[in-house]
Structure 1
Amino acid sequence: MSTALLTDHYELTMLQSALKSGTADRRSVFELFPRRLPEGRRYGVVAGVGRALDAVERFRFDDESLAVLREHAVVDDATLDWLASYRFSGDITGYAEGEAYFPYSPLLMVESSFAEAVLLETLLLSIYNHDSAIASAASRMTLAAGDRPCIEMGSRRTHEEAAVACARAAYVAGFVSSSNLAARQRYGVPTTGTSAHSFTLLHDTEADAFRAQIASLGEGTTLLVDTYDVTDAVRLGVELAGPSLGAVRLDSGDLGVMARRVRRQLDSLGATGTKIVVTSDLDEYSIAALAAAPVDGYGVGTQLVTGSGHPTCGFVYKLVLREGDDGEMVPVAKKSKDKISIGGRKWALRRRDAAGVAEAEVIGIGEPPVDDGDDRALLVPLVRGGEIVGREPLDAARDRHAASRAELPLAAQQMSRGEPVLDTLHI
């Protein structure tokens, strides 16, 4: 399906004006970057790269798209003719998916003609702003959870298509599975799920509900035990499934207190291997608060799919280099108050000490910064000559995130509000 109309009207009117002025073919470099992190955050996480590459590949003005533009006179006939043969033929370089980022990190460098590059602005920003916000929140949640698994359960709290992207981004940032089956179909994200309160209420008794679930899904299933009385439900679950009952789920009340009570009860019943999973509007702070509780896993929904208070990253897409009348490339930059951009083509590396701990985000302007021997280059080729070259398995992004987060200073692990753990240096 074409992604060409997932864009703003003014991208096409700029194109029309540039075609008329003869500047549409000027060589240009656009940069996608954040001016700041969401308030109080210490690092961000790049996500959506794979989805963006798929979207760029499908960015074609097919007959249906052109008919809409023609019918509503969005652009003139000459522009429609140009759009009919549009194919991005330039280069895109950027941070790999799962990488940590900081203020002014050059997450994408898009190099082509002005006409080709400007049309991608809205689409790229839409994907990167959304997915990176989710991954950034998810990373804090998995950091707070430590070795305990987190399950993404937010599909019913957001747009149906956003839910799929959320599940993907959460998996990149360390969630072990999702409830969303479309995420499994499209991206291979592992899925899991058992039952809701409605299943228990469907049956005449809680025992009937548990008996039906165990018969269908086996003794290793997870029983939801807070529809009625938790203590009675836990006793009943172990009685029906035996001590090999897989897990119980708590979805209400004081989760820390309830988990301790349930753990004692399970142990007294001989179900020492039965796990306790908690849900109910969890975020990174409530997960951290449960660190000392006997909890074995977390199901996270609303707070994850809304970015835990920061549903967008504030990324922008700015022209930073363009061809002049003499054919030379000229750095350009926006200088308006509070919305400054820095002109010139960028390169980036993560400066690290001899022990491999990150010390700074170093951005070279016009040429790559010099690696002192312990540093790590951050920009990788994603598109070359219009051909996608940066696709990779989702697990590669997941592994990269774990490694990138592990090399950050210890302050990155703090849940309290603070400044970015790395300074960004332009050289």
Structure 2
Amino acid sequence: MIASLFHIFNPPSIAVRVANDDTTFDPLSYPNLNILTTGKVQGKIRIVHSAADDSKLGLISTRVWITKENDKEEVAVQTGFENKTFTFTIEGPNRFSSFNIYHETTIQIPHACEYMGNLRIDAPNTSLSSDALDNLQWDKVHVRLSASTVALQSLYADSINIRTSNSSISGAFDAGNISLATTNGAVTAKLVVREPKDGRQSQVMMETSNAHVNLHVDATPTTSGLWMETKTKNGRIAMGTLLGPATTGSYIGAVNENGTIDFSLDASQTGQPLDVYNKTMNGNVVSSIMVPHQQPFKGHVQNMNGSVAVNLTEEFRGQFTLETLNSSTTVEGSDLRFDQDETNNKSGLHGKGLSEIKVVTMNAPANLRFYREGESLAADSKMEHQTGSRRQWRST
């Protein structure tokens, strides 16, 4: 406790230089990067794609601040070159009960380099940011942080996996597989999901707690579809998704607890079956979906102590079921045939087909509406995505 109070009033403010704090590397010979910190170290990491650099060499530069002069003996920078991988490690002490070492590290990739291999960052108590990465493509990005923010203007890779805690994740991410996870911090992201290089189904996972998730997703044409799920609790989920054409079906899910779900999906172009799952409690659900044309759609929306409003385009052809306890149900649209039409329980058919929608609530109303495509709320998502630009994936 005393050491922690000492750190608050005596933050690291003495700048020091240590061996290897400026190290160059050849990205052609060493396309893979490992950036690591060990011990009681905190700070910032920034990735930059240099606007103009004739050297064709990459540079990792770190600056270190300490609290007391003798702390300098407790910090070191180690470098290693092996198996096409450059490893840069900032080593700090383990004996301090507070953080006496602070660093600011810049990873500079030369402008001439447009493709890199794998990027691994394992740096607790260190934030991550980027600048001008629009024309830089990675193979795999694997990031492990804690208690620090991730704010990336843009990041392009075949696979992106980012973890932090007690802080937020934000940015634009373009990849075949994307996983962003934190706790006690918001996730705010624009995603472009492409077909992975291995040809398997794209996997997207967003997860946090005690905070909101705000997603804008554009899934480009794939051969294996998309599996995507978003989770939080004690926060709000707001997501708009455009699915491109696929040759196999997709699954899109949003799971919450003690928070609302605002779900908008345009699957009218996918040409394949689609499963959708929305679940929460103690919060309302608004789910607006442009269903696939002439393909089976299966939707399940579940809530407790919160209302549900589901809007589907009239392309939906099949069975609907609404069940509630201690509240009411409504179904609106044309070409409806009811098998059961009670206040708290409705079921029947909308047209003829294999699609299914089931809505289950407790202590709150359930509403289902069938709209023409231009009138559906999901059309708003379609227009937002169509006005954006798609980036051409570069082969290597």
Instruction: Quickly name the TM-score band, shorter chain normalised.
Output: under 0.3
TM-score by length of 2: 0.23
The structure, 1 or 2, with the larger RCO (C-alpha pairs under 8 Å, 6+ apart) is 1
Provide TM-score, normalisation by structure 1: 0.22
Higher strand content, 1 or 2: 2
Q: Answer 1 or 2: which has greater helix percent.
A: 1
